[in-house]
Each structure stands twice: as C-alpha cells, then as structure tokens.
Amino acid sequence: MTRLLSIEDLAVATGSGRPLVRGVSLTLRAGRILALLGESGCGKSLSLLGALDALPPGLRRMGGVVALDGRPCAGRELRGGIVATVLQNPREAFNPLLTLRAHARETLEVRKAEADARLASALAEVGLDDPAVPGLLPGEMSGGMLQRAMIALALIREAPFLIADEPTTDLDPVARARLMDLLAGLRARRGLGMLLVTHDLGVAARLADEVAVMQGGRIVETAPTARLFAAPAHRHTRDLLAAHAMLCADDRPPAKTATVGAVA
Amino acid sequence: MTLLQAGMALRPPPGLRLASVSALLLAGLMLFGPWLAPYDPTEVALDLKLMGPSLAHPLGTDHLGRDVLSRLMAGAQVSLGAVAAILALVLTLGVGIGSLAGMAGGRTDAAIMRVCDAFLTIPTFILALFFVGVLGTGPANVVTAVVLSHWAWYARMARALVAGLKRQDYVLAARVAGTGRLMTVVRHILPAVLAQMAILASLDIGHMMLHVSGLSFLGLGVTPPDPEWGVMINDARAVLWTQPVLVLWPGLMIMLTVMTFNRLGDGLRDALDPALQAGGKAP
Ligand SMILES: Nc1ncnc2c1ncn2[C@@H]1O[C@H](COP(=O)(O)OP(=O)(O)OP(=O)(O)O)[C@@H](O)[C@H]1O
Ligand SMILES: [Mg+2]
C-alpha cells in the first residue's frame, strides 16, 4: 500500500537556463491534504508538472527526486496510476472533439463496458449523475461541470494521490463549497493523499492539514494549518494572510463561515 | 473515429452535400469509368472523325473518330486516379514529416524545415517539370514529380499545427493522465492535424489536377492513345477553331472536379473550424 509521496529539491528552468522553480520539497501522505499557497506566477503549477516530468515544451527539470515510499520514481511511472492530476484550467483540459466517455476510455486500459461503468460511478461520486453526461462534448458542459468531470476522470484509475491545481478558481461560492465537500469526502472515503494548489486561503484553512507557502519559485514556509494561520513565521506568509484578511473584511464574511453556511 | 464523431456532430450545409454527391460520382467514374464507357476509348474509326453529337455518340467523336464520351469516362481513371494518388502520397509524406518536425522540435525540426524551404523557393510547376525531366515521362513519374514538388507545403503546415497543438492543455491533460506519448499523438494531435490538412488538400485538388493535366498537355504524362483529360485537350488543339466543343468537354470535367473539391474544402473548413476552436486558443 502506498503511503508516502515525497518531492525533494525539485528545480525547473527554461531552455536557456533561467530558473523558475528551485529547491521545492513537498511530502504527500495518504489521507492527508497539503495545500500549496502562493501568489500568481510563483511557480506552483510548474512544480507539479515538474514532479510528474510533464513540463510544457521549452522547460526543463533541473534536478530533484520524486520518491514513492522512499523509492525514487520517474514521472512516467507516477502519471495517472499513482498520481491523478486535475489541471488548472478545466475548460481547456478536454479535447473539444471527444466526449467525456471517450476521455475516460483513453485513460483506462480495460474493456469499454467496464470503463463506462467506472466512469458512471466516478461521475456519481462528484455529483454528475445525469446519464446524459458521459455523452457530452466539453463544449456542452459548464465550467463547474467540467471541473467536476475532470475530478471524476482523475478518480477512475483509483490513484492513491490526487494533485489538484486551483480546483476552486472560477467557481461561484456555492459550487466552491460543494467542491470542498467533495474533496473532503474523497479523503474520508478513499484515503487519498492530496496536494491542493490554491490562491484561496479559505480552501486551505478548511481542508488542509498542512500548508506550504511559495514565493518566487521557492517554498518559504511549511507548517500545520492551524499554526500557519495563528503564527505565520515568514514575512511573505504574513503578507498573504494580511491581504486575505483585508479582502474578507471588505466584501464578504470569512471564507470558513461562508462554506459552512453553503454546505448546510 | 474522432473525425467521424466530429463529422456526425456537425450537420453539413446543403452546398456541401451537393459537392459530396458530385465527389462520389467522380469517385465512381474514377473506379469504374473504363468499364462503364460505351465504346473502346482507343478505337480509331477515321470514317467517323469529328462527328457532332448523335444518338450513337452523344458527345460526338474526335479527330480520329474515337467516342468522346468513352474517352472522358475512361480518362477519369487516370486523371482522377493520379490526383488521388498524389493526394494520398502528399498527405502521408507531408503530415508524417511535418508532424515529426513539430513533435521533435530543436535541431531535427530546424533541419527538416531547411529542406522544406529549399523545395518551397521554386514554383511548384517548374519544380514538377524539373522532376519529370529527371525521372522521365509517364503517369507514375508525373505523380512522383507532383508529389515531390508539393509535399513541403504540407509538411510546413502540419509542423505548424503540431507545434501549436502540442502546447494545448488537453494534450498536457492526456499526458498527466498517463496516456503514452504515441497514443497522445494519435488521439489528440493527428486527428486535428488531419482535419486541417484535409481542408487544405481538398482546396488544393484543383491545383494538382491542373498540374497533372498540364503535364499531360505538354506530352509528359500519359502518352496517346491512352485517354486522359489533359491529353484530350491537347489532341483537340489542332481542331480548336472548327470543333471547339472537343476542348470544352474535358475542360468542363476538370472544372467540375476543381469546383467540387473547392466547395468540399470550404464546407469542411466552415464545419471543422468552430469545432476545433471551441475548446482551445488558436495555435
Ligand atoms: N512555458 C514557459 N516558458 C517560460 N516561462 C514560463 C513558462 N510557463 C510558465 N513560466 C513562468 O514560470 C513562472 C511560474 O509559472 P506557474 O504557471 O507555475 O505559476 P503559478 O504559480 O501556477 O501561477 P498561477 O497561480 O497564476 O497559476 C511564471 O512566472 C511564468 O512566467
Ligand atoms: Mg498555476
């Protein structure tokens, strides 16, 4: 049984050698949620893709070890079967010419009927149980549906780890709250180890056991959630918290209460 | 299967349907023309030469008394068959080489593109003439020459498409979902490339047709007495002023083919473009 996925000292650079991510270390544990916080452009997405050896053309991984229960692994061994990934932008993460069902069959190397059955149960798990959904093209689904469909696709291979890149961006507060419930439920039911990349401190506060804060391509602080929020050690973390507090005071109740209200 | 799905999701407009019917008819003529022809297209009957339309010879006869209708029908095999062969070869070569360059990037890409550039600097007809000169005359050599003078256009296009498509998020998504490299190309990149290239090709069919007929007209392709539309036009040149219809018939067939496939290409483009753009930024 897989329990521990560790990323050690990961670095990503452009083809010309300009470093974009340096010395990133993160540890995922079964049944635990790690949140990765950081402002836009600090290198969160590239860290994930780097760990999976799936960097966009033109970027290179410069080092670092990804280990599964202590055994170093290439990205190819991890992708899909061990680590399921939900990409940042669900609207563009589907081939516009393929239905959801075709997407599911592609990832699963099983008979079609079996793949369809697994897709149906994964879709039910994320709350998309309308029987028409598997036959829809991406253009026929809303952003929130795509977001959930993406998570369903990530689930069908029953990988022990899930990486979700900003799964709540672009969602309205109700959908956002439902998604958080979904993720919490997945952890509870399946014991998934998760890495949640987010700008949203509310999501981190509600779901994460541990939070890592990133700035300028480096991890500047990693701490258990409660401690990080109560006593942030790094200046950048304090700035992030302060900015969030200001936003919350301005225009909406703190994220935690909003969520609880919407869930009930 | 992707193309098929895309095709089924899109209802073709009526003009496109008409063009499809016409394309089917032309394809039928290409496959079965020689057997459907009422007379032997090479049978000379000098006593019947240059006759006007009659019941026995609906389109009349040419300067050697051969039945024009039969020559048109039998000629479709070579005229259209050559174009079909050219298309198949050009698409295979162009998409294959272009996709390789686009996927590989770096030095491989640069090397392939320089070779393409060399081919692209010379006008295609001149290049085709040059290759016929090197290879010798005859239908197979004409096909080869036209392929060699055109593949680079397709390779360039395919490369640009692949280079854009491989950056699409859904290609990345397939990759992080564990789909292998080859599978990703086959499922997510090639169908979109082929869809675009099919559009380009159908718009280009007329152009290739004119190349083949042009080379035959110059006496470099099909050799008389075998029927071919370009050869027929050439034969009719001598009697252009007395029997202009003899040029008209093969000319009309060429025109029909060109128009059919231009319309087909336009329709395909209109139908596929929005579908391709719906899910992603244009490459
Ligand atoms: N293909 C690329 N080539 C060069 N630089 C890149 C490339 N992709 C990303 N970058 C740079 O790397 C940095 C980190 O990008 P990344 O996508 O990881 O940010 P992020 O933290 O995920 O931001 P966001 O929260 O907005 O998604 C950015 O400054 C970006 O400009
Ligand atoms: Mg990102």
Distance CA A36, CA A50 (A): 15
Ligand 1 atom closest to the CA of A49, numbered from 1: 18
Query: Structure tokens of A25?
Result: 């270390």
CB pair distance less than 8 Å for A98 and B172 = no
pTM: 0.76
Query: Structure tokens of A208?
Result: 């994460």
What is the 3-state secondary structure of chain A? CCCEEEEEEEEEEECCCCEEEEEEEEEEECCCEEEEEECCCCCHHHHHHHHCCCCCCCEEEEEEEEEECCEECCHHHHECCCEEEECCCHHHCCCCCCCHHHHHHHHCCCCHHHHHHHHHHHHHHCCCCCCCHHHCCHHHCCHHHHHHHHHHHHHCCCCCEEEEECCCCCCCHHHHHHHHHHHHHHHHHHCCEEEEEECCHHHHHHHCCEEEEEECCEEEEEEEHHHHHHCCCCHHHHHHHHHHHHHHHHHCCCHHHHHHHHHC
Q: What is the dihedral of CA A260, A261, A262, A264, to 10 degrees?
A: 80
The answer to whether the CB of B214 falls within 8 A of the CB of B267 is: no
Strand pairing class (A193-198; A33-38): parallel
**What CATH class has A1-77+198-250?**
alpha beta
Start-to-end C-alpha separation, chain A:
35
Distance B153 CA to ligand 2 centre (A): 37
Query: Structure tokens of A2?
Result: 């897989």
Among chain A residues, the shortest Cα distance to B272 is held by: A97
The backbone torsions φ and ψ at residue A165, rounded to the nearest 5 degrees and listed phi first, read -95, 105
Ligand 1 pocket residue status of A55, Cβ below 6 Å = no
The backbone torsions φ and ψ at residue A60, rounded to the nearest 5 degrees and listed phi first, read -130, 145
Distance from CA of B175 to the nearest CA of A (A): 7
Please report the pLDDT score of residue A257 as a whole number.
Answer: 45
Distance CA B9, CA B17 (A): 15
Residue pairs between chains A and B whose CB atoms are closer than 8 Å? 87
Q: Which residues pair with A6 in a beta bridge?
A: A27, A67
Distance B9 CA to ligand 2 centre (A): 33
Distance CA A144, CA B19 (A): 41
CB pair distance less than 8 Å for A107 and B178 = yes
Among chain A residues, the shortest Cα distance to B180 is held by: A76
The answer to whether the CB of B149 falls within 8 A of the CB of B214 is: no
The residue written with tokens 């085709």 in the block is B128
Please report the pLDDT score of residue B276 as a whole number.
Answer: 53
The residue written with tokens 């290049």 in the block is B127
Instruction: Sketch the domain layout of chain B as residue ranges.
Output: 16-31+67-271
In tens digits, what is the pLDDT along chain A, a chain of 264 residues? 668 999 999 999 998 889 999 999 999 999 999 999 988 889 999 999 999 999 988 899 998 899 999 899 998 889 988 999 999 888 889 988 888 998 888 888 778 888 888 899 889 888 888 888 899 998 888 888 888 899 888 888 888 999 999 888 777 788 788 888 889 998 998 889 999 998 888 888 889 999 999 999 999 999 999 888 888 888 888 888 888 777 666 555 545 444 443 433
Question: Looking only at Cα atoms, what is the longest distance across chain A?
Answer: 54
ipTM score of the complex? 0.83
Please report the pLDDT score of residue A263 as a whole number.
Answer: 39
Distance A168 CA to ligand 2 centre (A): 12
Q: Which amino acid is at B221?
A: G
Sheet holding A33-38, edge to edge: A83-86, A161-165, A193-198, A33-38, A210-215, A218-224
The backbone torsions φ and ψ at residue B136, rounded to the nearest 5 degrees and listed phi first, read 100, 170
For residue A60, list chain B residues with Cβ-Cβ distance below 8 A.
Answer: none
pLDDT digits (tens, 9 = 90+) for B79-121: 888 888 999 999 999 999 999 999 888 899 999 999 999 999 9
Ligand 1 pocket residue status of A43, Cβ below 6 Å = yes
User: In terms of C-beta density within 10 A (0-12 exposed, 13-18 middle, 19 or more buried), how is residue B9 classed?
Assistant: middle
Instruction: Sketch the domain layout of chain A as residue ranges.
Output: 1-77+198-250
Among chain A residues, the shortest Cα distance to B168 is held by: A92
Distance CA A236, CA A42 (A): 12
Q: Which ligand gives the minimal distance to the CA of A22?
A: 1
Ligand 1 pocket residue status of A51, Cβ below 6 Å = no
Distance CA B213, CA B231 (A): 7
Distance CA A25, CA A7 (A): 5
Whether residue A108 lies within 8 A of chain B, CB to CB, comes out as no
For residue B279, list chain A residues with Cβ-Cβ distance below 8 A.
Answer: 91-92, 94-97, 138-139
Select the CATH number that applies to the domain covering B16-31+67-271 from these four: 3.10.20.30, 2.60.120.200, 3.40.1130.10, 1.10.3720.10: 1.10.3720.10
The answer to whether the CB of B95 falls within 8 A of the CB of B194 is: yes
**HSE, side-chain direction, 13 A CA sphere, residue B138:** 6
Q: What is the dihedral of CA A18, A20, A26, A32, to 10 degrees?
A: -160
Ligand 1 pocket residue status of A88, Cβ below 6 Å = yes
Distance from CA of A56 to the nearest CA of B (A): 7
For residue B174, list chain A residues with Cβ-Cβ distance below 8 A.
Answer: 95, 106
Answer left, alpha or beta for residue A93, where phi above 0 means left and psi between -120 and 50 means alpha.
alpha
In tens digits, what is the pLDDT along chain B, a chain of 283 residues? 455 555 555 565 667 788 888 889 999 988 888 888 888 888 777 777 777 777 777 787 877 778 888 888 888 888 888 888 999 999 999 999 999 999 888 899 999 999 999 999 988 888 888 888 898 888 888 888 889 888 999 999 999 999 989 888 899 999 898 888 888 888 889 888 888 888 888 778 878 877 887 888 787 877 777 888 888 888 888 888 888 888 888 889 888 888 888 888 777 777 666 555 544 433 3
User: In terms of C-beta density within 10 A (0-12 exposed, 13-18 middle, 19 or more buried), how is residue A27 classed?
Assistant: middle
Distance A43 CA to ligand 2 centre (A): 7
For residue A98, list chain B residues with Cβ-Cβ distance below 8 A.
Answer: 2, 5, 187
Answer left, alpha or beta for residue B42, where phi above 0 means left and psi between -120 and 50 means alpha.
alpha
Q: Which residues pair with A34 in a beta bridge?
A: A195, A210
Closest to B196 (Cα-Cα) out of B222, B228, B163: B163
Strand pairing class (A33-38; A210-215): parallel
